[in-house]
Amino acid sequence: MLEEKYPNDNSSNASVRYDVQKGRASKRTKQDRKLNGPPQNNPWVWLPTELLNSVAWRSMGINCFRFIFRLLIEHCNHKGLENGRLISTYKQLSEYGLTKSKIRKAIDEAEVLGLVRHKRGRKIEALNQPNSYRLTFYADDERGYATNEWKSVTKEKISKWREETGVNLQNRLNYKRNFKSKTPEWYNNQYYFENYEGDILSVFVGL
């Protein structure tokens, strides 16, 4: 798309933009740029068309999509200065529309697609430190540039991950079914469950 002075307008602000594909021209002024530019009193983000057209972006599931946009909100709220230290708790993600049981998978999917990198939170004394996230298509303070891992993601890589995830999920469900079918009598003993602190209880929690 080419831009030059609009021939029939004496205004120094006027310009003509030729759309090569559509074969037509349109007049653009400062007013047009103001109306179609970013909002002045509201945080905003930019997303390059290369990202929006990428295999990684187009392959996102709905929960992964919501997860990314929840991080974009955090990025806006911190004026783009906290990438790599973005925090969005499970409660915030759930309130934004993610299914609670799918949050972990959404995070994993975003990492496989190269859109996000995260540091797992930990417990320090009595305080729980939440996960922190970095959007790879924006620069961060540590590096000073965007790492853009999403550019190297292929359909084959995504298919392989989804296949492996499906197999692992099926194995987990089969294990859970088989385990419950062989449940001993004490399994249904509520008192036993509430008072037992050994390995068996941790297995049930993991299910």
pLDDT 10s digits, 80-96:
999 999 999 989 999 99
Amino acid at 116: V
Q: How far apart are CA 133 and CA 71, in angstroms?
A: 8
Q: Which positions ≥6 away from 193 have C-beta within 8 Å?
A: 201, 204
Q: Which of 29-38, 55-64, 115-124, 176-185 has the lowest average pLDDT?
A: 176-185
For residue 18, what pLDDT is reported?
A: 44
Higher pLDDT: 47 or 176? It is 47
Higher pLDDT: 139 or 128? It is 139
For residue 199, what pLDDT is reported?
A: 38
Name the pLDDT band for 21 (thresholds 50, 70, 90): low
For residue 195, what pLDDT is reported?
A: 37
Percent of the chain at pLDDT exceeding 90: 42
β-pair type (116-119, 122-124): unpaired
Higher pLDDT: 169 or 62? It is 62
Name the pLDDT band for 70 (thresholds 50, 70, 90): very high
Highest mean pLDDT among 14-28, 39-53, 61-75: 61-75
Predicted confidence (pLDDT) per residue in 82-136, tens digit: 999 999 998 999 999 998 888 999 999 999 999 999 888 766 656 677 889 999 9
For residue 175, what pLDDT is reported?
A: 58
pLDDT reading at 168 higher than 80: no
For residue 68, what pLDDT is reported?
A: 97
Mean of the per-residue pLDDT values of the chain: 75
Question: Taking the model in full, what pTM does it have?
Answer: 0.66
Neighbour-count burial for 177-191, b at 16+ CB within 10 Å, e otherwise:
eeeeeeeeeeeeeee
For residue 128, what pLDDT is reported?
A: 73
Q: How far apart are CA 158 and CA 160, in angstroms?
A: 5
